[in-house]
Every structure is written in structure tokens, then in C-alpha cells.
Structure 1
Amino acid sequence: MITLSVVVPIRDGERFIADALTSLCRNARHDFEFIVVNDGSVDATGDIIDDFRADLPGLTVLRNPAPVGLADARNTGLSAASGRYVTFMDGDDWLAPGYLAQLVDAIDGLGCDFVRGDHVQVEGRKRVVHRAPLARRGAVLNPRDAILPANVRTMVDYPYAWAGIYRRSLGDLLHFPGSLHTAEDRPWIWRLHREAATFAGVSLAGVFYRRMVSGSLTQVGDERQLHFFDAFELVFKDLEPEFMPKAVRNFCALLAHHLEIGDRFTPALRARFEDRGAQMVRSLPPEIVSEAVSRMSVEREATLRGLVPDLPPSPHVRVRRDREDT
């Protein structure tokens, strides 16, 4: 019987996939399976994966003839999973030895629907531990209680699917919105926290997340970045009024962030991005938008008011902040 299924989507990852799979070898167990989804790679990724067939017990390789994107690649892996639990790893990241067994022990011991943990952010030689924004650790909680307050970083601001372990019996709650090529984790984490029954946070930081990798979607300024708006339309759809201030604040902060790094867009794409952003802001309750924007940094408020000049005035005295979380 398989205890844990690890889903690893990868596209054109020849530089990093060997590191990822080596780390899985150091986490292998007879009751673990590793489902690598090669999402239409045209480089040497497939050959490198094949080199690990004899070294990584439980390895299954699925291949999409043409790329379908991260969300659908993960869904392909989920459909093939047979474990009691599921977790994810991106193909350019790696895991600490023994981390997966610790994850399984955590969710077994707590008996909840899903468990979230911390991670290590990697930029070159720099390593920084990023903690999940949950103060109470090792206790079973209601996921809905971890969405608010609106103006404090909470678990829906920590959307990384790979930073946790999930009961496969959650079924459709684990599936990602199809066809999204960016921000796919955003509606996924919101739905999980709105609809699952129980969760917990634990102090485990065994995922090493490579940031600022050239070629990743966070660094590419093509029209797939417009999927950011599709993702948040799903967040706002049928959202309970009590959570609207949080979702609006979440969206506006990320929109400002994208606009601040808008130099990666072509002029035509930037115009489309700004137009869609302005339309979406205007579709939201203006008093909630004004409240959210007024609590951001002066720079971000200026960015958003430049995009939507007809926003209602701020109800608060402005305090300059040097740093703004996204």
C-alpha cells in the first residue's frame, strides 16, 4: 500500500532535474511513489529522468507530448497518484534528506486533512528560511480561521502547494484550475481553506525553493502573465462577504507588485495588463478597495491610484512604509 505520492511537474528543466531527483532518492521509502510529469520538454530533461529509473524506487514517468502548463501537469500527476497522502515538488527545487518521512509522521500524528510547513528560499548561495504565517503550530485548526484578518499576512498569502502534505481523499479540492499558466496556487489555496475541514501548521523547512530562476514564469513577461487575472476571478467567484476584504487586499497588493516590475512586459502587453487590471479593480466594491489600498505603502497606493484615478479617497492618515509584503 502506498502511503505518499509525490507529484513533480517539469518542463525543460535539464539544469535542475537531477538535483531534484537526487533529493528524492534520499527520501525514498518502499511505500512512497514519485510521479514525474514531463510537460512537453524539448531539452535533455527526459533523458536525465530516465537515468534515475534504476536509482529511484517507485518512480513513474508521465509525458505530455505538448506543454499544458503547471496546473494541468500537476493534475495529470494527481490522477495517477495512489497514495493515502499527496505532496508536490517543482522540478527545479530539492528536498532535505528525510523530509518526506517527517511530513508523513506529522499528518499521521495530527490526523487532519492537510498540514503546511515552512521552506528555505534559495537565491544563488543565499539561504533564507520563510515561515508559514501561522503562529500556532502542531494543533488541529479550522482552515477558515486562518484566512483573516485582511491586513495581516495569513495562510492564503502563503499559497505554495509544495509546502505541505494533503490527504488524497480531499479529491477535487486538490485539483488545480485547468489552463492557468501562472497564479494557479492562488484559487487553489483559497478553495482549500474555505472548504476543507481541518489543517495544521508544523515547523518543518525541508523544501529548498529556487527563486529568480531564469526562464521561470515569475521571470518571463509574456501573455501568460494575464492568467493572474483569471486566477483571481476564480478567487472572487462565490466568495463569502466576510472574506472579500482579504481577497481584495491580496489581489491589489499582487497587482501593484506586477506593475512595479512591469518592465519585463512589452509595451503592448503592459497596456493589456494595465487595462485588465483597471477593469478588475473597478469591478470590486470601491469602499473595500479604498480601505485595502490605504493600508499599503505610499508607493503602492500611488501605483494603484495611478492605474485607477477615480478610486475613492483614503479614509486614513497615510504612514510611509519601507517594505510591503506581497
Structure 2
Amino acid sequence: MVSQPLISVIVPAKDQAPFIRDSMTSLTRQFEDSAAVEVIVVDDGSTDGTGELASAFTRRLPGLKIIRNETPVGLATARNQGLDSATGRYITYLDGDDWLAPGHLAHVLDSMSTLDVDFVRLDHVRVTRGNRVQHYAPQARRGVPLDPRNDIAPPTKSTMIDYAFAWAGVYSRRMADAGLLRFPDGLFTAEDRPWIWRLHLQAKSYAVVNSPGILYRRGVTTSLTQIVDMRQLDFLPAYAQVFSLVESDRDAELYWPKAARQFVAILAHHLNRASQMPADVAASLRSRAGGVLQLIPDAIRARTLAELDAKRLQSLRTIVATSGRSTR
């Protein structure tokens, strides 16, 4: 038996009754000694008995903790609640509708201990209506320590800063102690964007390692990616925070193009969906987007817009004109 958990797994879950048992069962299959893992389920205002279903695993997971919120506080704050309760030497996240292959965490921690890095990042399998597709982290070099700042640019290619899934990694306790694992409180979506930027800008080392597998369930009807309401617009304050991080960095000129291109691409995506949004959500998107766009330095913004493809540029034309800039 171990006195301190080897790893804390933070599981935010809201109305995940159909899936939470799969998640919890997978966590019982990670180590020979079940006391090595501390599982912290944050039941974020569920009305379907999610917390009670998770509690049934107490005997199989002796380190299990259940935190209950009477009303939902959102994914970011729920993860922070779990982080505040975590005591493990390492920390990771698992969404309440996902699960891990047997021995996944034990394998990853062996690699992490050998490499002695601040955090590791992992590939994942997307499961959509039973179909499984492997998705790889953008960094091809595996099993070697890397500088996380070197894997932010270039703006025109997919890099590790685009691979923002918090659950696709394991993090040293020292990252939590340094405040690098906290999410922006109150955000329901896009909370991982400022989080991944802070991690890559301020951590000292990381690695990408192969692992038995994270299984990520797609297309769940209760997922916020499937629900269109004001919470979808959290990417606007999220990128305001990203821009603040970049602006204060010693190499801001190097990273601004990537941050700007990310935001413009996501903004164009949401504007293309505006016709599917409730009228008040679409109006709020159009009225607020220009202000965030203006946070990008003029030269960077102009160059980013000039490099856009025609479809995205057309989506942004009204926003740019409203914010006082022409796309011509």
C-alpha cells in the first residue's frame, strides 16, 4: 500500500449516468495496487444520479472522493475544485463520458518518471457511435524531453498548442504548485485554450509518449459541443486571456501570429454557424467579437486577415467592418 496516491485523476461530470460507470471501471484497471490512484469526481449539478453511481465504486477505488455542486459551475471551475482536493504526485483529468485502456496510467507514469519532465502529452482514440479512430498529437518526436515553447509556432501548421485537450496528458505536482494547471473560473467552453497556452509558455519541459490509450467519446447529445447557447461564446473571453498571456511574454512577437490565426479560425467557424444559433446568441457573437479582434496588434491582425482563405474572410467581413477595419 502507498501513503500518498501516485496520481490524482480529476473527473468532472454533469449528467453522465449512461457513461460514468465505464469511466470508473476503467480507473479500477490502472494499477495492481488500487490505492495508487486517487479519483476525484466533481458532480457538477447532475440531476440523473451521476454522483451516486460514481460513489458505488468506493470499495474498488479506496481513494475515491465525490465533490457535489448543487448547481452547475462549469467545466473550468469543476476541474479547479478537483485540483484543490488532489494530493497525488501526478495529476491528470478524465471527462465523465470517456475511459482509459487497462494499465494506461501505469505505463504513462513509468515513461514520465524516466524522462523527468514537467508534463507528458498523449494520443487518443475518438469513439463515435462505436467507430474508433486514432488521433495523434501533432509532435512526431516521441519519448524525448522537449521545450514546450518550441512547439507553439509556426502559425500555418498544426502544433501542440492546437492540441488543447487537458485529459490528453499527465502533469507533475510541481505544475499544480506553480499554478499552471488551473483553468479560468466560470468558463463553460474553450477553458482549455488559455490553459494550454500558459502551460506551453511557462513550463520548462515536456514529452509526447505512446500509451495504451485514452478513449474519447464523440457525439454525446449532452455535450456542450452539441448545445448552442451563450456558453458557446466563452471562446471570446478565453482568447482575451490568451492574448494577455502572449502580450506579456518575452517572445510576444514570435507567438502573436499563432494566437491571432487560432482565434480568427475559431471565430470564422462560429460565424459560419450563426444561422443555427438562437437570435440572441448570434447577436451577442457579432457584437462582442470585434472587441476581441481589436486586442490583436494592428500589423499582426492585418497580416492574419490577408492570409485567410476566401470562405473564412467572407465570414469575418462584417465583424472586421464593424470593428473599424476593412478586409480589402
TM-score, L = length of structure 2: 0.91
Per-residue CA distance 1:14-41 (angstroms, 9 max, x = gap):
1111111111122243311111111121
- Indicate whether 1:216 and 2:228 are aligned: no
Please give the residue correspondences for 1:5-44 in structure 2 after superposition, counting only pairs within 5 Å: 5-28=8-31, 29-44=34-49
Partner of 1:322: none
- Find the residue that maps to 2:39 and give its secondary structure: strand
Partner of 1:299: 311
- Indicate whether 1:49 and 2:60 are aligned: no
* Contiguous gaps of at least 5 residues in structure 2: 247-251
Q: Given the superposition, is the C-alpha separation of residues 55 and 238 from structure 1 closer, same or farther in structure 2, using an over 3 Å criterion?
A: closer
Alpha-carbon distance in structure 1 between the residues aligned to 2:133 and 2:312: 25
* Contact 1:223–1:269 (CA under 8 A) maintained in structure 2: yes
Alpha-carbon distance in structure 1 between the residues aligned to 2:172 and 2:184: 19
Which structure 1 residue ranges, 4+ long, deviate > 3 Å from structure 2? 293-297, 309-314
Alpha-carbon distance in structure 1 between the residues aligned to 2:327 and 2:45: 49
Q: Given the superposition, is the C-alpha separation of residues 276 and 95 from structure 1 closer, same or farther in structure 2, using an over 3 Å criterion?
A: same
* Letter matched to residue 213 of structure 1: V
Q: Given the superposition, is the C-alpha separation of residues 113 and 30 from structure 1 closer, same or farther in structure 2, using an over 3 Å criterion?
A: same
Per-residue CA distance 1:298-318 (angstroms, 9 max, x = gap):
31122122432464557xxxx
Partner of 2:96: 91
* Contact 1:118–1:205 (CA under 8 A) maintained in structure 2: no
- Indicate whether 1:204 and 2:204 are aligned: no
Alpha-carbon distance in structure 1 between the residues aligned to 2:38 and 2:169: 16
- Indicate whether 1:278 and 2:290 are aligned: yes
Partner of 1:320: none
Structure 1 residue 294: deviation in Å?
3.8
Structure 1 residue 241: deviation in Å?
2.7
* Contiguous gaps of at least 5 residues in structure 1: 315-326
Structure 1 residue 55: deviation in Å?
2.6
Aligned residues: 314
Alpha-carbon distance in structure 1 between the residues aligned to 2:212 and 2:193: 21
* Contact 2:35–2:61 (CA under 8 A) maintained in structure 1: no
For the aligned residue pairs, the C-alpha RMSD in angstroms reads: 1.7
* Letter matched to residue 215 of structure 1: T
Partner of 2:201: 194
Partner of 1:290: 302
- Indicate whether 1:257 and 2:269 are aligned: yes
* Contact 1:25–1:55 (CA under 8 A) maintained in structure 2: yes
- Percent identical among aligned pairs is 46
Alpha-carbon distance in structure 2 between the residues aligned to 1:85 and 1:153: 28
* Contact 2:320–2:327 (CA under 8 A) maintained in structure 1: no
- Find the residue that maps to 1:213 and give its secondary structure: coil
- Find the residue that maps to 2:35 and give its secondary structure: coil
More displaced 10-residue stretch of structure 1: 35-44 or 300-309: 300-309
* Contact 1:146–1:154 (CA under 8 A) maintained in structure 2: yes
TM-score, L = length of structure 1: 0.91
Alpha-carbon distance in structure 2 between the residues aligned to 1:44 and 1:277: 38
Alpha-carbon distance in structure 2 between the residues aligned to 1:168 and 1:85: 5
* Contact 1:290–1:312 (CA under 8 A) maintained in structure 2: no
Alpha-carbon distance in structure 1 between the residues aligned to 2:300 and 2:325: 10
- Find the residue that maps to 2:41 and give its secondary structure: strand
Please give the residue correspondences for 1:221-236 in structure 2 after superposition, counting only pairs within 5 Å: 221-236=228-243
Per-residue CA distance 1:204-247 (angstroms, 9 max, x = gap):
36111112211211111111122211111110114223211110
Per-residue CA distance 1:146-179 (angstroms, 9 max, x = gap):
1111111111101100000000111211111111
Q: Given the superposition, is the C-alpha separation of residues 262 and 210 from structure 1 closer, same or farther in structure 2, using an over 3 Å criterion?
A: farther
Q: Given the superposition, is the C-alpha separation of residues 185 and 136 from structure 1 closer, same or farther in structure 2, using an over 3 Å criterion?
A: same
Alpha-carbon distance in structure 2 between the residues aligned to 1:251 and 1:126: 30
Which of the residues 164, 169, 173 maps onto 1:164?
169
* Contact 2:317–2:327 (CA under 8 A) maintained in structure 1: no
